[in-house]
């Protein structure tokens, strides 16, 4: 597959991640001569004005956030029907810290969780709910500071023509029960997802392992969170 070489005023340097929403590149802003991250969204905005409006609304909200534990958003553009978001470049992400289901040291897990809490508190105070807290959306600076990324993208995608029938916003291992049916959510959904994430950081796996989305939903709704294994040495 030929890699994207350039988009707008940004020169693509390398592809760094790909997921269900789009592809992330490390790039150089040729006007300001700085390295940035660009998320190119898979879902086209052509002939879908409601989706485009939702993206623009969520971009403006995300760009208004100013906190050391939230990724700084610089720009939002559409080129040939493809939307992309430009943000600060951060070299690592939490999902890369998990190796063969190995947990993080509990001191480090708590440190990351506190920093994510601080970023979410700032966002919630400013009317932004993330809706998709998961390891891939927690980025880590070279110094190890955690920064929350991708505010509002899950909500905007739910406005698209292709997604409008399901209205599910989030990732099934981390979603609060109220998100599964498209119910109205607030910041408490993010805190639920952070609790699931903290369990994964401490144990190496999310607490619920249903073999289907339906099984996962039932576990999230009805099952207690499993006790952390004693051999991990996590204090009460």
Instruction: Kindly list the catalytic residues.
Output: 132
Token pair for residue 226?
Answer: 């499993």
**Cα–Cα distances in Å, from 39 out to 42, 121, 223?**
9, 24, 36
The CA-to-CA distance between both ends of the chain, in Å, stands at 49
Residue 41: Cβ-neighbour burial (10 angstroms; 0-12, 13-18, 19+): buried
CA gap 204, 201 in Å, rounded: 6
Number of separate helices (H) and strands (E) present in the chain = 6, 9
């Amino acid at each position: 597959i030929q890699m994207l070489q350039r988009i707008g005023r940004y020169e693509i340097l390398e592809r760094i991640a790909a997921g269900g929403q789009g592809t992330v590149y490390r790039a150089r802003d040729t006007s300001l001569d700085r390295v940035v991250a660009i998320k190119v969204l898979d879902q086209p905005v052509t002939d879908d004005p409601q989706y485009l409006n939702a993206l623009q609304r969520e971009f403006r909200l995300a760009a208004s956030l100013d906190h050391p534990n939230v990724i700084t958003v610089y720009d939002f553009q559409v080129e040939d029907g493809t939307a992309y978001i430009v943000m600060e470049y951060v070299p690592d992400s939490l999902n890369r810290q998990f190796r063969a289901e190995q947990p993080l040291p509990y001191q480090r897990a708590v440190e990351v969780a506190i920093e994510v809490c601080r970023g979410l508190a700032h966002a919630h105070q400013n009317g932004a709910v993330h809706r998709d807290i998961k390891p891939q959306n927690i980025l880590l600076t070279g110094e190890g500071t955690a920064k929350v990324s991708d505010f509002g993208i899950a909500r905007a995608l739910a406005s698209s023509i292709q997604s409008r029938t399901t209205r599910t916003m989030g990732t099934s291992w981390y979603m609060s029960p109220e998100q599964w049916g498209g119910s109205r959510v607030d910041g408490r959904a993010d805190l639920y997802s952070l609790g699931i994430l903290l369990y994964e950081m401490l144990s190496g796996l999310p607490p619920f392992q249903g073999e289907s989305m339906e099984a996962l939903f039932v576990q999230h709704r009805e099952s207690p969170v499993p006790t952390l294994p004693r051999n991990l040495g996590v204090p009460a």
